[in-house]
């Protein structure tokens, strides 16, 4: 318990409360279920950041659904995107002819979603539909948008609900901003 408090003591302010996230996920799941073509969905979850968001979102989608995870790294422990996207898996999921729901935690420069979506299209998937919990309101390095966005936020570094700073804070149940 004291550990948990210590964890939260590093947080300057809560940006999006747990209850607010849960309500938004209900709506997003309905949208996805309504708009996605008939048939099983192949969800591809970008690790590690999107695992909490994906777990909560996908359990709200009441239809046949397969889940694959991809390990990508787009920055290296700091608070700025590095500009290059690395695929860390030896084998990528078979996406041929599939409609993919690609999930990431946050859309920042857009490089990650663009690189992964391009790769999935090269691998022959039918279409990539993208979903993010958060999208930063900024001019992106890559001209990409997500089809499903949980929340638009300002251009600041956030943690919690899957998002880390140097590996920590992913388990915070809310999205927040750290003390400087
Ligand atoms: P992009 O490729 O769009 O610049 O960045 C996407 C990735 O950068 C995300 O998957 C996430 O790992 C990381 N990222 C971008 N902004 C933030 C942020 O505010 N907080 C954290 N923790 N990670 C971020
Ligand atoms: Mg990440």
The answer on pLDDT for 136 being more than 50 is: yes
- For ligand 2, an ion, list residues with CB under 5 A: 49
Q: What is the model's pLDDT at position 142? A: 85
* Nearest-angstrom CA–CA distance, 163 and 143: 23
176 C-beta closer than 6 A to ligand 1: no
* Nearest-angstrom CA–CA distance, 136 and 153: 5
* Nearest-angstrom CA–CA distance, 149 and 132: 5
Instruction: State the closest ligand 1 atom to the C-alpha of 104, by its place in the atom list counted from 1.
Output: 10
For residues 163-168, average pLDDT: 94
What is the Å distance from ligand 2's center to 117 Cα? Answer: 15
What is the Å distance from ligand 2's center to 9 Cα? Answer: 23
115 C-beta closer than 6 A to ligand 1: no
Active site members: 108
3-state secondary structure of 55: helix
* Nearest-angstrom CA–CA distance, 178 and 79: 11
What is the Å distance from ligand 1's center to 82 Cα? Answer: 10
Domain definitions of the chain by residue range: 4-178
151 C-beta closer than 6 A to ligand 1: no
7 HSE (CA, 13 A, CB side)? 17
The answer on pLDDT for 2 being more than 50 is: no
For the stretch 77-118, pLDDT in tens is 556 555 678 899 999 999 999 999 999 999 999 999 999 999
The class of domain 4-178 in CATH terms is alpha beta
104 C-beta closer than 6 A to ligand 1: yes
């Amino acid at each position: 318990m004291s550990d948990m408090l210590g964890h939260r003591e590093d947080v300057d302010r809560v940006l999006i409360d747990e209850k607010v996230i849960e309500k938004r996920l209900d709506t997003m799941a309905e949208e996805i279920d309504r708009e996605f073509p008939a048939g099983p969905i192949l969800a591809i979850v970008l690790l590690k950041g999107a695992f909490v968001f994906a777990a909560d979102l996908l359990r709200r989608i009441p239809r046949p659904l397969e889940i694959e995870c991809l390990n990508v790294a787009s920055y290296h422990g700091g608070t700025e995107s590095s500009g290059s996207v690395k695929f860390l898996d030896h084998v990528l999921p078979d996406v041929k002819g599939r409609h993919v729901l690609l999930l990431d935690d946050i859309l920042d420069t857009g490089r990650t979603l663009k690189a992964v979506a391009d790769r999935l299209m090269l691998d022959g998937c039918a279409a990539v539909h993208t979903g993010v919990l958060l999208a930063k309101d900024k001019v992106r390095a890559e001209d990409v948008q997500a089809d499903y966005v949980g929340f638009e936020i300002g251009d600041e570094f956030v943690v919690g609900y899957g998002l880390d700073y140097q590996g920590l804070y992913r388990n915070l149940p809310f999205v927040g901003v750290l003390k400087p």
